[in-house]
């Protein structure tokens, strides 16, 4: 059985910043309201909040990836993070090539827009693990991953690519990493897309970033674009 107190202690040790515990009974609405309050507060006090689910997977990932945390952090912060657009373009093209090779065409990839799909506006709280709100001491929101060494397994981008992608999306949509668990990432988007053309482009990027949201989720890109229209919450998961 998981020992959430041990996980919390391990995670707090590795991130090395201020935090506060969150009541595990909080609903998604309460989590969202807390996050938005802290985000505004953080802009005044020099930190970016991120909610962490202290589950077994996240504790293990942080323990494996962190090593010498100061060396790790300094290395990531010294890297040029201006290649997010190129990274997503290349990943999407790789997915398209794989589909063409397997199916012979991409005819089944796009589907149709669906105006009945509702936008996602609330951060999810589906974890039974301890929750904390970590106060990452930076206003460059993409640098969260220099404190939270998340990613780098299977098809999940590593922390360096996470930073580049999140910087690119922040510059376009004011999109900020908001909730991280062992295998999921939720991003809060302060300037969501409002038309089908932009939503389609964004859906292609989401597919490049996380193919499971299509292959194990929406199945097609235009339904995903329909979901992203006016959504303030973007959700990703990696097996």
Burial of 112 (0-12, 13-18, 19+ CB in 10 A): exposed
Q: What mean pLDDT is predicted for residues 199-213?
A: 97
Position 51 confidence tier, pLDDT thresholds 50, 70, 90: very high
Number of other residues whose CB lies within 10 A of the CB of residue 147? 26
Flag whether pLDDT at 2 surpasses 50. no
Q: What mean pLDDT is predicted for residues 206-220?
A: 94
pLDDT at residue number 137: 97
First to last CA, the chain: 21
Q: Which residues of 168-188 are buried (b: 16+ CB within 10 A; e: fewer)?
A: bbbebbebbbbbbbbbbbbbb
Query: Which of the pair, 235 or 71, is modelled with greater confidence?
Result: 235
Number of other residues whose CB lies within 10 A of the CB of residue 58? 24
CA distance to 35, 143, 207, per residue, from 122 (Å): 11, 23, 21
37-47: per-residue pLDDT in tens?
Answer: 999 999 999 99
pLDDT at residue number 27: 94
pLDDT at residue number 29: 97
The whole-angstrom separation of Cα 99 and Cα 106 is: 6
pLDDT at residue number 1: 34
Flag whether pLDDT at 111 surpasses 70. yes
141-152: per-residue pLDDT in tens?
Answer: 999 999 998 888
Split into its structural domains, the chain has a count of 1
- Residue range of the domain that includes 151: 4-237
pLDDT at residue number 68: 77
The whole-angstrom separation of Cα 192 and Cα 234 is: 10
pLDDT at residue number 66: 62
Which DSSP string corresponds to 143-184? GHHHHS----STTSPPHHHHHHHHHHHHHHH-EEEEEE-SSE
Using alpha carbons only, what angle is made at residue 93 by residues 88 and 99, rounded to the nearest 5 degrees?
A: 130
């Amino acid at each position: 059985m998981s020992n959430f107190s041990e996980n919390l202690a391990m995670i707090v040790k590795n991130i090395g910043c201020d935090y506060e515990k969150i009541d595990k009974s909080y609903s998604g609405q309460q989590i969202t309201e807390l996050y938005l309050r802290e985000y505004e507060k953080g802009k005044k006090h020099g930190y970016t909040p991120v909610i962490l689910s202290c589950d077994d997977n996240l504790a293990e990932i942080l323990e494996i990836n962190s090593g010498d945390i100061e060396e790790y952090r300094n290395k990531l912060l010294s890297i040029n993070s201006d290649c997010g657009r190129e990274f997503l373009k290349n990943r999407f093209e790789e997915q398209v090539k794989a589909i063409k090779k397997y199916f012979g065409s991409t005819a089944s990839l796009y589907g149709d827009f669906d105006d009945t799909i509702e936008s996602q506006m609330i951060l999810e709280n589906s974890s039974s693990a301890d929750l904390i709100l970590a106060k990452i001491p930076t206003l460059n929101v993409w640098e969260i991953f220099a404190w939270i060494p998340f990613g780098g397994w299977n098809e999940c981008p590593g922390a360096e690519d996470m930073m580049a992608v999140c910087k690119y999306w922040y510059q376009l949509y004011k999109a900020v990493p908001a909730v991280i668990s062992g295998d999921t990432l939720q991003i809060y988007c302060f300037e969501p897309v409002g038309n089908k053309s932009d939503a389609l482009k964004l859906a292609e990027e989401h597919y490049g970033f996380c193919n499971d949201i299509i292959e194990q989720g929406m199945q097609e890109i235009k339904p995903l674009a329909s979901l992203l229209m006016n959504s303030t919450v973007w959700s990703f998961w990696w097996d």
